[in-house]
Amino acid sequence: MPFIIFIDFDYFYAQVEEIMNPAIKDKPVVVCVYSGRTENSGAVATSNYLARSIGIKSGMPLPQAMKIGKDRAVFIPIRKDFYKEFSDRVMNTISTYSDKIEIASIDEAYIDVTEECSTFQKAVELGKEIKEAIFREHGMKASLGISINKVIAKILGDMAKPDGIKYIDEFQVDGFLNNLEVKKIPGVGTVLSTKLKDAGIVYIKDILNRDPRAMIDILGNAKYTYLVEIAENRYNKPVEERIRKNFGRYITLPENTRDKFIIMPIVRKAVDSAYGKAPGIPGEISAIGIMEDLDIVSRSITGGRINKNSAYEIAESLMEKILDSDQRKLRRIGIRIGKITSNESLDDFFGT
C-alpha cells in the first residue's frame, strides 16, 4: 500500500515576504502584479490570511484591493525569481526524505515514502518531521495531507490549511469517500461541479449510480474514468518526477561584494554545474543576482544553441550588466539555462 505525502506551502508568495521582513507578518500582505499602464493598475497575485479576512483576494484588480486595504495593508510587487529560488531551497529539503518527489508547482509537492516507512503511522510521523524541518530551516509554514494516493492526500492537504496536517489510512478511505463532495476533488472546477450538481451529483459516490453515457456526455471519457477510479478507490497514479525545463545553480558568495575577481570564477562554477545537470544544449541562459538586501536582479539572452564554452563568456557578460545597472553588493549568484535540445555530439556540447 503506497504512503503519499502532499505538501503545500501556505499563501506562498506572501509568506516569503513575511519571512524576509518579519515586521509585516502581523499586517495584511498583498503581492501584486503591476501592469505598468498606470501607477496602480494590475491585479492581486496572492495575499496572506489577514488580507483575505478583510476581503482582498487573488485576481482582484489592484485599485479595488488598495481601496479595501488603505492604511492597513502592505502592497508588494511580485518577485518571481526570488520566490522560485526560495522554493528550490525548500524543495531540496523535502527531497532529502525521499527519492520519489513530484514538484507539482512552485508551492506544492508530492512525495512517496512507501520505501522509507514500514507502516502508515511511520509515514505520519515522517510527515510531521518534514513539516517541522521546513519551518526550522526556512521559516515556512506548510499544510500536509497524508494518505494512500495523490488525490486523497491533496484533498486532505487543502482541508488542513492553514499550517495543519491531516491523514487517512487505508482502513478509513472508504468512509471518507462516502462523504466526499465532488467539488473538493482536484480537477473539478466551479463550472464542472455546477454541471454535476445540476445532474444530481453532489458526492463522488453518486457518480457510480448514474448512467455512464450520461456522465461521459458531461465529463468526457478521461475525466469520467478519473472520477470513477477515485469513487471506487482504484486511483493509483504514481508520484512521478516532472520533466524539468530549466536547470541551474545558485551559489552564495564568501561575502557580500561587487568584486569581479571574486564573482566571475563563481559564475563559471555555476555554469559548470548547470550544464552538468542539463540533458542537452540550451538555447537560453540567465544570470541572476541576489543582492545584499535579498532583492533579485536578472538578465537573460535567448538564441541559437549555446555550447558550454560560449556560455562562460555570455554568463560573465550578463553578470557584468547586472553590476553595471545596480550599485548594490551581491550576496548570491545564479545561472539558469533553458530551452534544452538534445546533444548531437560532445563537440557541440563543449564547443570544440
For residues 326 and 301, the answer to whether their CB atoms sit within 8 Å is no
Given a cut of 90, whether residue 230 has pLDDT beyond it is yes
Arithmetic mean of pLDDT, 153-160: 97
Distance CA 165, CA 123 (A): 12
Q: Is the pLDDT of residue 244 over 90?
A: no
pLDDT at 242: 66
**DSSP code of residue 212:** H
For residue 265, what is the DSSP state? H
Identify the active-site residue in 108, 170, 284, 320: 108
260 plus 202 within the same structural domain: no
Indicate which CATH number applies to the domain containing 39. Answer: 3.40.1170.60
Integer Cα distance of 316 and 263 in angstroms: 9
Residue 240 lies in a domain: no
Considering the domain architecture, whether residues 86 and 149 belong to the same structural domain is answered as: yes
The confidence band for 314, taking pLDDT boundaries of 50, 70 and 90, is very high
Please give the angle made by the CA atoms of 345, 347 and 352, to the nearest 5 degrees. Answer: 175
Averaged confidence pLDDT in the chain? 91
Of 58, 79, 100, the residue that ends a domain is 79
| Residue 237 resides in a domain | no
Asked whether residue 236 is domain-assigned, the answer is no
Least confident interval from 82-91, 147-156, 262-271, 313-322: 82-91
33 within some domain? yes
Whether residue 304 contacts residue 339, with contact meaning beta carbons closer than 8 Å, is answered with no
3-state SS assignment for residue 59: coil
pLDDT at 79 over 70: yes
Assess whether 340 and 267 both reside in one domain: yes
What is the C-alpha separation between 46 and 140, in angstroms, rounded?
Answer: 16
Query: 253 and 340 share a domain?
Result: yes
Is the pLDDT confidence value at 294 over 90?
no
Closest CA to 336 of 313, 304, 311: 311
Rounded Cα distance between 51 and 329, Å, is 33
Quick check: 17 pLDDT over 80?
A: yes
Single residue among 79, 114, 130 that ends a domain in this structure? 79
Q: Are residues 139 and 115 in the same domain?
A: yes
| 292 and 216 both lie in a single domain | no
Could you tell me if residue 238 is inside a domain? Answer: no
Mean pLDDT check: name the lowest of 120-129, 170-179, 186-195, 286-295: 286-295
- 116 occurs within a structural domain: yes
Both 66 and 125 in one domain: the answer is: no
The reply to whether 168 and 182 lie within a common domain is no
Rounded-to-integer distance, Cα 226 and Cα 142, Å: 27
What is the widest separation between alpha-carbon atoms in the chain?
72
Q: What is the CATH number of the domain that holds 201?
A: 1.10.150.20
What CA–CA distance (Å, rounded) separates 167 from 157? Answer: 9
Is residue 108 part of the annotated active site? The answer reads yes
Q: Which of residues 45, 79, 113 is at a domain's end?
A: 79
- Domain of 291: which CATH number? 3.30.1490.100
Residues 199 and 291 in one domain: no
Mean pLDDT over 101-112 rounds to 94
- Prior bond of 28 cis (ω within 30°): no
* C-alpha cell of residue 191: 463550472
Q: Provide the number of structural domains found in the chain.
A: 4
Instruction: Place 345 in a pLDDT band, splitting at 50, 70 and 90.
Output: very low
Strand partners, 42: 34
Q: Is residue 73 located within the same domain as residue 85?
A: no
Nearest to 65 by CA among 79, 84, 80, 52: 52
Q: What are phi and psi of 146, to 5 degrees?
A: -130, 125
pLDDT digits (tens, 9 = 90+) for 107-125: 999 999 999 999 999 999 9
CA dihedral 42, 43, 47, 51 (to 10 degrees): 90
Residues 340 and 255 both lie in one domain: yes
Cα 112 from Cα 98, distance rounded (Å): 7
Q: Which domain holds residue 190?
A: 178-231
Position 196 in a domain: yes
Per-residue confidence (pLDDT) for residue 74, from 0 to 100 = 97
Assess contact for 203 and 211: CB atoms under 8 A: no
d(CA 316, CA 271): 10
Query: Do both 264 and 330 map to the same domain?
Result: yes
